[in-house]
Structure formats: structure tokens, C-alpha cells
Amino acid sequence: MIDQKINEILIEVLGLDEEEKINPENDLIRDLAAESIDFVDICFRLEKEFKLGKVNPGNIFPAFLEKADLKNGIPDNIIEQLIKEFPHTNVGLIDELKREKNPRIFLQVKNLISFVSYKLNQN
């Protein structure tokens, strides 16, 4: 249900065809052509659709990772910061980050699903 609603939001915000297959691994920028203004609209619609309260892109997407040097592995302080500041980051995403050493995984649809699931379970 959450993923279906998120897909509907993405189709509407990004002007995608309703028949277009959106999967959790899709990169919002590379695969779905989201632009910076779209992230604000996506957050607004997540707020309204799921009654989450105020959400901004900084709550979902850890921008600090773009500046981090992850080529030689993920330092413990980065993992600790992710867990503290982005509690919706599940073990699977952290494991994938360790394996891939690529922060773009946080721009995937599955990160939106994880965020919404976490917020709904808080209530």
C-alpha cells in the first residue's frame, strides 16, 4: 500500500506515464528524472497523503554523504550519524551502502518507502 501510494505521487509529480513501471531500486534522478524542485513537491505530497507532519528533503536524503569519502569503506562515524539523524535508514540500506560505497542508494524509491514506513510506525 505505501509503495503504491508513493508510486502514484511520483507519477503525478514527475509527469510519468501511469503504465510506467516504478520499482524500489529506481534512482529518483537518474531513472525518473526528478529535479530539485520535485523533491520539495514529493515531500509536500508525502506530508498530505500520509499525514506525516512537516517533511523536507533533508529529513529523507542524507546530503552529507555526497561530501564523504566512501571509497575505502564506510567509517563508523558515518554509520552512527546515519542511524542518529536518519532513523528510517534500515539495516538493508546501511548494508547496501557498505557494499556499494555509493550514497546514491538514498535517492532510490525504496528510501522513500522506508521513510514513510518508519514515520507511520512512530505514530
Report the pLDDT value the prediction gives residue 11, as an integer from 0 to 100.
98
Distances (CA, A) of 9 to 49, 66, 117: 9, 26, 15
> Quick check: is 119 in a domain?
no
> Quick check: is 120 in a domain?
no
pLDDT per position as a tens digit, 74-106 = 899 999 999 999 999 988 889 999 998 989 999
CATH number of the CATH domain containing 35? 1.10.1200
Q: Which domain holds residue 36?
A: 2-113
Domain count, the chain: 1
Mean pLDDT of the chain: 93
- Asked whether residue 123 carries a pLDDT value surpassing 70, the answer given is no
Of the candidates 6, 29, 32, 27, which has an alpha carbon nearest to the alpha carbon of residue 100? 27
109/7 Cα distance (integer angstroms): 9
Specify the residue for cell string 566512501: 70
> Quick check: is 122 in a domain?
no
Share of the chain above pLDDT 90, in %: 78
What backbone phi and psi angles, to 5 degrees, belong to 95? Answer: -60, -40
> Quick check: is 12 in a domain?
yes
pLDDT per position as a tens digit, 13-27 = 999 998 888 999 999
Question: pLDDT band at 72, cuts 50/70/90?
Answer: confident
> Quick check: is 118 in a domain?
no
* Beta bridge partners of residue 108, listed in sequence order: 27
